[in-house]
């Protein structure tokens, strides 16, 4: 999955660069003034500014709606691992934010399917007698993003750290969580829209 993501981002950048280069070298015989005009430069800059590089985590959360706000994507450190995994299954998610008992906004860590497999199943422990706090990734080891983080930055971070879920933090409070699937879908959509804009620019008769 990580290799696919790296290949996708790299390939997308190559395609975009090639198309932008195509814009700059179309028919070199045409008078240079046509392609160095201020309006053309401004238009090209505007196109790049509104490309997928500008998409943020906040945009993903808005697109996801209620499912991104963390309203049910959490458990407490005192919950059993069994209950946490049951909640993941019921809501079809791969991770839960962990909070301190009675403090829903106080982030304590995160528990994922990977934690369950590596720290319960493989080690032969009982999920019904093990507390979430015993196997979670603690808050001081968490990798997080903010709503203002660029999607491509988040993808790079998740790929490099080999993580599939990342909490979204604002003003020291938890505001949601996004998955690698959310990020990839956003990049795919933005790549498609970016190429459509570039194609329209090429065919626009500027």
Going from N- to C-terminal start, the domains of the chain cover 57-186
pLDDT at 7: 56
Digit-coded pLDDT (tens) for 184-193? 888 888 777 7
pLDDT digits (tens, 9 = 90+) for 171-180: 877 788 888 8
pLDDT of residue 149: 94
Best CA proximity match to 196, nearest among 56, 50, 55, 34? 50
pLDDT for 36: 37
**Contact criterion met (CB below 8 Å) for 152 and 127:** no
At residue 125 the predicted structure's pLDDT band, cuts being 50, 70 and 90, is: very high
User: How buried is residue 50: exposed, middle or buried, by Cβ count under 10 Å (0-12/13-18/19+)?
Assistant: middle
CB atoms near residue 192 (< 10 Å): 12
Note the CATH number of domain 57-186.
3.10.580.10
């Amino acid at each position: 999955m990580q290799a696919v993501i790296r290949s996708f981002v790299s390939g997308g950048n190559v395609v975009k660069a090639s198309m932008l280069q195509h814009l700059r070298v179309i028919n070199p015989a045409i008078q240079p003034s046509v392609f160095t005009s201020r309006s053309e430069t401004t238009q090209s800059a505007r196109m790049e500014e509104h490309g997928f590089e500008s998409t943020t985590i906040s945009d993903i959360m808005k697109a996801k709606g209620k499912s991104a706000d963390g309203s049910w994507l959490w458990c407490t450190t005192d919950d059993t691992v069994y209950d946490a995994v049951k909640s993941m299954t019921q809501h079809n998610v791969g991770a839960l934010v962990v909070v301190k008992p009675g403090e829903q906004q106080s982030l304590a860590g995160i528990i994922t399917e990977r934690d369950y497999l590596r720290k319960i199943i493989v080690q032969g422990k009982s999920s019904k007698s093990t507390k979430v706090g015993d196997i979670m990734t603690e808050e001081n080891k968490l990798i997080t993003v903010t709503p203002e983080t660029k999607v491509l930055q988040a993808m790079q971070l998740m790929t490099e750290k080999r993580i599939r879920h990342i909490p979204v933090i604002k003003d020291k409070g938890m505001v949601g969580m996004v998955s690698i699937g959310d990020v990839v879908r956003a990049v795919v959509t933005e790549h498609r829209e970016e190429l459509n804009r570039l194609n329209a620019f090429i065919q626009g008769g500027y």
